[in-house]
Each structure stands twice: as structure tokens, then as C-alpha cells.
Amino acid sequence: MGLRLALLLVLGLAVPTGATAAPTAAAAGCAKVAPPKLGERHESKPTGKLPAGTTYRVTFDTNCGSFTVTLDQKQSPNTVASFVSLVRKGFFDRTIFHRIVPGFVIQGGDPTGTGTSGPGYATVDTPPKGAAYTHGVVAMAKTASDPPGTAGSQFFVVTAANANLPSDYAIIGKVTKGLAVVDLIGKLGNASELPTRLVEIEKATVSGS
């Protein structure tokens, strides 16, 4: 598989999922959980922006531990406002990381777990030229046909030192706490880029300061 095709499969929304395999040694820090009930979840698109000057952080509690993302609403105001709205509505609760590519990214945010769904709307924040997708950066997935910066609810966290992606994906922030948890999850993928263990977002919460 060529690199370009691989990137489209990883970061596009229309990607397959499969059954999880037996646990690996890398999953030692993960609790075993029952598969959540997945399905379509549609929400209304937020109409307002977040208050300027407030820093928002989203904490994801997973069965492999917790990590916190500090959001960058200056760079992606529309996308961050949408993301915060979805978190507050519990949109990400009891969803899974449906795609795990060791040494590259982990991807979640699809309520169906299939890689094909979202909240029922999209936002756009065109990334600046030269946007860097480095270790811990959180950005939004999109299909190859969508304009740069298009976002729904699917997001990915970079586990590579540098993913070397084009400036097509809206950056919403960076992991500022619990990066070791992200790296642990990032090891739980196979050669087909499918999870080898169920990794569930048990709850996502947002705080502002």
C-alpha cells in the first residue's frame, strides 16, 4: 500500500473496523471493559463562539488511563467551539478509538465506531500553511474530498514524532497531560490499523480558565 493511500485510509472518514484481537503486552495498563452500545448520534451545530481569552481543556477518561488536551481556539475557533459543545453534550462518552496506527496516530470520535459517521454537521477552520502535526497534536479527520480544515467529530492524536501530514486537518490543540496514556493506546493497533484491544472513551469533560 502506498503512503498516500495509507494516509487517506487513516484520516478519511470512510474506513472499516473489525473485531479486536487478543490483548497484547502493551495493554498491561488497560482495564477490560464490555463493548459499549454504539450508534448514530446527531447534534445541533453550535451557533456561537466561545468567550475569547478563556483556555479550554478536555480530559478523556479511558479504560487505559486519562489524558488532557488543551484546546487552541485562536487557531480553530469554529472547530473548537463545536468540539466543546459535543463534549458538554456527552457525545464522546462511551465511544471507542476505532483506528490505531502504531507510530502514527490514534483516531476516535465516531459514535458508530465504523469510521464513517459524525455529529450530522461540519465546521471549517483552514489550517495555516506549514501546520505541524507533531507528537501530541490533536486534529480533526476528514474525507479526501472535503476542503482543508473541514471537521465533524472524528479526531486523531499524533503518536509519531512528526506525522509529516499536509496542512489539511484542522488542529484543535495538544495533549498537555497524560501523553504516556496516548502512547500506550498507540501501541494497540495491528498491521491493518485496527485496534488489538477495545479502548473506550468512558467520559470526556471540559474545563475553562
- Tens-digit pLDDT profile for residues 64-98: 999 999 999 999 999 999 999 999 999 999 999 99
> Which pLDDT band, with edges at 50, 70 and 90, does 25 fall under?
low
**Cα Dmax for the chain:** 46
Mean pLDDT of 46-57: 92
Report all structural domains of the chain as residue ranges with CATH numbers, in order of start: 3-10+54-208 (2.40.100.10)
CA 151 to chain centre: 11
Percentage of residues of the chain with pLDDT beyond 90:
83
- CA–CA dist 91, 8 (Å, integer): 25
Q: Where are the beta strands (DSSP E) in the chain?
A: 56-62, 65-71, 95-101, 105-108, 123-124, 137-140, 150-151, 155-158, 171-177, 200-208
From the list 9, 49, 4, the residue with the least C-alpha distance to 189 is 9
Instruction: Give residue-wise pLDDT tens across range 154-192.
Output: 999 999 999 999 999 999 999 999 999 999 999 999 999
Residue range 181-209: average pLDDT?
96
Report which of 72, 60, 76, 69 is spatially closest to residue 201, judged by C-alpha positions.
60
pLDDT of residue 18 exceeding 50: no
Q: Output the pLDDT for position 4.
A: 35
Q: 26: pLDDT confidence band, cut at 50, 70 and 90?
A: low
Cα distance between residue 152 and residue 177, in whole Å = 24
Give the pLDDT score at 15: 41
- The overall average pLDDT reported for the chain is 90
Whether the per-residue pLDDT at 24 is higher than 70: the answer is: no
For residues 44-62, give the mean pLDDT: 94
User: Among 1, 185, 7, 12, which Cα is nearest to 115's?
Assistant: 12
* Per-residue confidence band for 147, with pLDDT thresholds at 50, 70 and 90: very high
